[in-house]
Amino acid sequence: MLPLIRLAVALGPETGPALSRLAKHPDAEVLAEAAEAMVLFKRVEAITALESVVAGAMSDPRFSPKEGRPDPATLLARIEKSVAELRRARRP
């Protein structure tokens, strides 16, 4: 899935709606990558979904440590940063 997100970024903003749907993806790494892509295309409509992920991260199994996977705290930090950047993009 990560290569598909990178391809979507390369294809341009037209892929933004598809990226926004990834805010509910069951893999935290995919979610973090998609959140960063949403920032590139200023998909501010994804803020609410991403904020929900951040708020519930402590009880969200997507953020449980898994062998061979990135650190969940790092993934969460990437999503939090994306939310902050989308909030800034939303301001006039």
Sketch the domain layout of the chain as residue ranges.
2-90
User: Per-residue pLDDT for 81 more than 90?
Assistant: yes
Position 23 scores a pLDDT of 86
- Section 28-41 average pLDDT: 96
Position 91 scores a pLDDT of 83
How is residue 74 written in tokens? 């790092």
How is residue 5 written in tokens? 């997100």
Output the average pLDDT for the chain: 94
Torsion, CA 30, CA 61, CA 72, CA 58, rounded to 10: 130
User: Per-residue pLDDT for 44 more than 80?
Assistant: yes
Q: pTM for the whole thing?
A: 0.92
- Rounded to whole angstroms, how far apart are CA atoms 82 and 51? 10
